[in-house]
Amino acid sequence: MARGILRFFAALGVSLSLILCALAPAAVAEGESAVDATAEGGPNFTPEERNFIASHDSLRIGYVQDRVPVSFTGEDGELAGISRYIFDHVSELCGIEFEYVPLPAGDVTYDYLLSADLDLVSSVEYNKENQNARGILISNPYLSSRKVVVARDGLEFRYDANLKIAISTGSQTLRKVLGASYPNFELVDYPSIDACFDAVNSGEADLMIQNQYVVEYWMSKPIYEKLKVIPVLGLDDQLCFSAVVAFGEGSEQSQADGRTLINILNKTINSMSEDEVGSFTIQGIMENQYRFTVSDFLYRYRLAVTALCILLLIILVLAFLLIRLHIRYTENKADTKARGQFLSAMSHEIRTPLNGLIGLNHLMLGNTDDKERLTNYLNQSNVTANYLVSLVNDMLDMSSLQSENLTLDLKPIDLKLVIDTVNSITEHAMADKGIAYSSNCALTWPCVLGDEVRIQQVLLNLLDNARKFTPKGGKVTLSVRQELTEDSEVLTTAEVSDNGRGMSREFQKHIFDVFARELDTVSKGNEGTGLGLPISRRLAMLMNGDLTFVSDKGKGSAFTFTFVAEPSVMPKKEEPKYPDASRLKPNILVAEDNELNGEIILELLRENGYKAELAENGKIALEMFERSENGEFGVILMDLLMPELDGFEAAKAIRALDRSDAKTVRIFACTANSSDEDREKAALSGMNEFITKPVDVGKLIKKLEE
């Protein structure tokens, strides 16, 4: 909030300086024309000048299109801004109508000006030395202000520093001045003002220098909140007209007409009062203030919007799972009472955290300017959202287990390492609650063929339950032992015991029912999903084992998890291959058809230092990759369900391209679909990784760094 107050006063100071500069008198160029004008009585033209005016009904004036609010093309396709008010007044005073012609973007050549049949060019930076040296005919300044430096917060403007300066193409006078005065500066051309701002904002350039009115306009854009304005003495911005005349043999009349036209303009400009110029300037600024867009709103309130999007996504996923589980449950359980209990439990599990998220979202929207409160609400919503994600994962596991679609990922694993990991996770949680935790591990065959993730999942479920239902000062123990079966397989037995609350005999009959929880424990803050034990038992049975228990109310419980696996040998570890440091931040192509999700993932990637581009569907992603330089994109985040061309077909098409990087680019499936069928299909289409939504940003960044 303090940073916001500082930015407010900084913006107020810049605004006041703009108004003061608008009211300051325009600088008068050297030359005899200055004495021929009378500010109070209007221009005093010579007979030759009056003849010129009488013989010219209109003049074609070229103007720069991207200098809001000084000079730009308005919504009606005509010249708008401060320049339009000044030019119209000059036209009225001198008696010649002006026709305004937009100049193309970039550096405009003099041959182009002649071929476009232009009489004048506006927004020419005043430079008397340049005028005398080249014979260019330049008028007195019609608008005088200052140039200011724009830099990222924390970077200073130093004359002797080796800085990269962003220059909008066409600012040749500024380029000459900076090149002569600051030889250490590296001047880099960009096609437009907003491109210069983006370069400084992203760190591609260190500074940019531009008219203060233009800077004030663009600094209102929320994405540039980390930029600051640095006033620098000696960088004046005096905008003039330049007459477009031919040079060389036979061009004497053209140059004479040009000098007459410049004299007419000088007298007209000098006849304008300070109040008139100030009024035009203020009117141009006030009528052309920056208009906030949807993307600006999303950026300014990105934290609240991200939280809201996560909430909506969770609601949609849970609604889908609720319907799916309800259908499956009703197919297997015809009993009306059982269906009612199931739906009641589901409703409670979903509605309670969702109610908290909706309330937190309401509080966030009402406190967007209070960073401390907003951070607190976001932390609370993150905890609740993680619980809902856990609930979704448990529902998916239960659904897969009930439909017998879940398969184990069997490979050689080190059980000692698995148990060490479980202990590391559990010890901190037990210590935080004041519970004494111990582990006894006797492994005769530490290496077996098993599913490391599922074994760890069961052990952590049992230990977390023991922690929840054991009071402070209690004790929890994990004991693991092994023996060989008659079929020469390894039977591993893991027992988790505690001296906590225990369970009543009545509840023990339903302990493995879905959403089963003993009411007196729920009331004491030990609520969970009620799916951990049913899932753990089904996983144990899938591993040719079981999950049993003994419990005594008020004395504690002991759960015994057994599984059978073949003995194995761990493969030799290969030496890690470290990537080239220059490739640690690959360019990323994001294929996502949902605009909001695309904006969010782009912003998250850019905040972590990655350059990323968005493709609205698989077809556009394929086209963007085809147009890119070889090796330009290192990673593609590919949604699976998209219009035009889905993620599977897009990945196949990219892999089939006749270019070397088509085979090496890493393609990550990034989708809400998480079935084994989708994973297999993604692998067959050429994808390297599979990331499920909602995306865990930490895991995504870790994969990208690998």
Class of domain 28-142+238-294 (CATH, top level): alpha beta
pLDDT band at 405; cut points 50, 70, 90: low
- For residue 25, pLDDT over 80 is answered with no
pLDDT band at 679; cut points 50, 70, 90: confident
pLDDT of residue 388: 66
**Range(s) of the chain covered by CATH 3.40.50.2300:** 581-705
Place of tokens 């059980």: 415
Q: How many residues does the chain have?
A: 706
pLDDT of residue 336: 52
pLDDT of residue 354: 67
pTM of the model: 0.45
**Range(s) of the chain covered by CATH 3.30.565.10:** 411-567
pLDDT of residue 333: 54
Least Cα distance to 461 among 511, 407, 404 occurs for 511
Q: Does residue 239 contact residue 142 with C-beta atoms inside 8 Å?
A: yes
Q: Which residues pair with 310 in a beta bridge?
A: none
CATH 3.90.226.10 at 581-705, yes or no: no
**Range(s) of the chain covered by CATH 3.40.190.10:** 28-142+238-294, 145-237
Instruction: List, as one string, the DSSP characters of 479-502.
Output: EEEEEE-TTS-EEEEEEEEE-S--
- For residue 644, pLDDT over 70 is answered with yes
pLDDT band at 31; cut points 50, 70, 90: very low
Spatial distance between the Cα atoms of 264 and 514, rounded to a whole number of angstroms: 91
pLDDT of residue 503: 85
Spatial distance between the Cα atoms of 703 and 706, rounded to a whole number of angstroms: 5
pLDDT band at 10; cut points 50, 70, 90: very low
Residue 568, by phi and psi: left (phi above 0), alpha (psi -120 to 50) or beta?
beta
Spatial distance between the Cα atoms of 503 and 487, rounded to a whole number of angstroms: 37
Write out the two tokens for 287: 């009528």
pLDDT band at 48; cut points 50, 70, 90: very high
pLDDT of residue 566: 92
575: helix, coil or strand?
A: coil
pLDDT band at 70; cut points 50, 70, 90: very high
Question: What pLDDT digit, counting tens, does each position of 604-618 carry?
Answer: 888 888 899 999 999
| CA distances for 654 relative to 598, 602, 625, 659, angstroms | 20, 21, 8, 9
131-146 mean pLDDT:
78
pLDDT of residue 307: 79
More confident residue, 10 or 661: 661
| Euclidean distance between the first and the last CA atom of the chain, given in angstroms as a whole number | 37
Question: What pLDDT digit, counting tens, does each position of 535-544 carry?
Answer: 888 889 999 9
Buried b (16+ CB within 10 A) or exposed e, 636-667: bbbbbebeebbbbebbbbbeeeeeebbeebbb
* Burial of residue 146 (number of CB atoms within 10 Å: 0-12, 13-18, 19+): buried
- For residue 394, pLDDT over 70 is answered with no
Spatial distance between the Cα atoms of 244 and 225, rounded to a whole number of angstroms: 41
Q: Which residues pair with 470 in a beta bridge?
A: none
Alpha-helix runs per DSSP H in 367-451: 371-402, 415-433
Write out the two tokens for 94: 């001198």
Question: What pLDDT digit, counting tens, does each position of 264-310 carry?
Answer: 999 999 999 989 999 999 999 999 988 888 888 777 777 777 878 88
CATH 3.40.190.10 at 145-237, yes or no: yes
Question: What pLDDT digit, counting tens, does each position of 407-443 carry?
Answer: 788 899 999 988 988 888 888 889 888 999 999 999 9
- The residues, any chain, with a CB within 8 Å of residue 679's CB and separated by 6 or more, are 669, 690
Question: What pLDDT digit, counting tens, does each position of 588-607 carry?
Answer: 999 988 887 788 888 888 88
Using the Cα atoms of residue 588, residue 590, residue 595 and residue 598 in order, give the sign of their dihedral: negative
pLDDT of residue 569: 86
What share of the chain in percent tops pLDDT 90? 34
Q: What is the mean pLDDT of the chain?
A: 80
pLDDT band at 692; cut points 50, 70, 90: confident
Question: What pLDDT digit, counting tens, does each position of 548-587 carry?
Answer: 999 988 889 999 999 999 998 877 655 545 444 445 678 9
Spatial distance between the Cα atoms of 43 and 52, rounded to a whole number of angstroms: 14
102-127 mean pLDDT:
84
- Select the CATH number that applies to the domain covering 411-567 from these four: 1.10.10.10, 3.30.565.10, 3.20.20.70, 3.40.50.80: 3.30.565.10
Least Cα distance to 169 among 232, 229, 109 occurs for 109
204-209 mean pLDDT:
91
